[in-house]
């Protein structure tokens, strides 16, 4: 029994002992800074970013103010990116651009800082605070570097950010409609059209304004109905004028005829 317990203890501590004796641990425990930097760069080049990140982290305060600090900082930032730790990567890329403003990599790092914010932002169903921050950072980059070779890619991310935010707003407007909060629904759809005037689904939003006002009028007290039905007709005319080829026009036309019949009564 005692022998079995010793064997189990040995098995328990064997992985820890092996880890402590691993080549990486020997590098990490080394007091030779230049050797440690060389090995960190080797890990980086071999795409072993976790090991590189850990060594760079230890070297950052030691190498500050040395000629190797700029390259170290640059690679350290990218280790976070490759490890998909995008918030940390954005922070270090931004700091690199601020610490080394005349570096040839400063523009790249400022761009990468914005890209990391974009990648960190969640899907549209969640809070979009980080999507807004990413959009602002990307737009700031394009303004700051109007001739940058990264602008084509930056504009792609900007469009994707707009699309995500629009999808979020459209889902909220649809929810208002589904729970029969028709006034809020109409207001939300109007806001989407103001914020995204070039939207590919602008005709849907305009049609939903009409439907929302129609439903809102139906639920209103009699003295408010005429005014609100007329607002629905105004939304219909806007749809017809602004989107003459819309697939929603036949349904909107039928609805407008129904409203006119109601108003005649």
- pLDDT tens per residue across all 265 residues of the chain: 555 555 454 445 444 444 445 787 886 887 778 889 999 999 999 999 999 999 999 999 999 989 999 999 999 999 999 999 999 999 999 999 999 999 999 999 999 999 999 999 877 656 678 888 999 999 999 999 999 999 999 999 999 999 999 999 999 999 999 999 999 999 999 999 999 998 999 999 999 999 999 999 999 898 898 999 999 999 999 999 999 999 999 999 999 999 999 888 7
Q: Nearest to residue 211, comparing CAs of 246, 169, 248?
A: 248
CA distance to 117, 124, 233, per residue, from 112 (Å):
9, 22, 49
Structure tokens at 200: 């590919």
Give the CA distances from residue 55 to residues 44, 164, 165, 207, 235, in Å, rounded to whole numbers and listed in that order: 10, 37, 39, 59, 63
**Which of 188, 184, 187, 259 is CA-nearest to residue 229?**
259
Domain-located, residue 248: yes
- Residue 224 in domain: yes
pTM listed for this prediction: 0.78
Residue 228 lies in a domain: yes
Give a yes or no: residue 131 inside a domain: no
Q: How many domains does the chain contain in total?
A: 1
* Residue 146 covered by a domain: no
């Amino acid at each position: 029994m005692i022998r079995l317990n010793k064997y189990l203890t040995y098995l328990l501590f064997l992985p820890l002992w092996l880890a402590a004796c691993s080549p990486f641990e020997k590098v990490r425990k080394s007091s030779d800074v230049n050797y440690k930097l060389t090995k960190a760069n080797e890990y980086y080049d071999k795409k072993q970013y976790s090991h590189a990140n850990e060594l760079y982290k230890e070297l950052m305060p030691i190498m500050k103010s040395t000629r190797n600090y700029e390259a170290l900082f640059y690679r350290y930032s990218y280790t976070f990116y490759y490890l998909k730790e995008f918030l940390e990567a954005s922070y270090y890329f931004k700091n690199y651009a601020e610490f080394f403003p005349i570096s040839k990599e400063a523009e790249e790092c400022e761009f990468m800082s914005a890209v990391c914010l974009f990648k960190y932002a969640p899907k549209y169903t969640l809070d979009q605070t980080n999507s807004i921050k990413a959009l602002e950072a990307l737009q700031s980059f394009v303004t700051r570097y109007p001739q940058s070779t990264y602008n084509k890619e930056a504009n792609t991310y900007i469009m994707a950010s707009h699309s995500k935010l629009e999808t979020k707003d459209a889902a909220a407007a649809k929810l208002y409609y589904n729970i029969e909060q028709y006034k809020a629904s109409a207001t939300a759809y109007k806001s989407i059209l103001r914020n995204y005037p070039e939207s590919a689904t602008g005709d849907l939003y305009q049609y939903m304004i009409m439907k929302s006002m129609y439903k809102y009028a139906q639920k209103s007290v009699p003295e408010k109905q005429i005014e609100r039905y007329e607002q629905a007709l105004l939304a219909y005319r806007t749809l017809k004028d602004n989107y003459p080829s819309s697939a929603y026009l036949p349904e909107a036309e039928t609805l407008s005829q129904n409203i006119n019949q109601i108003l005649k009564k």
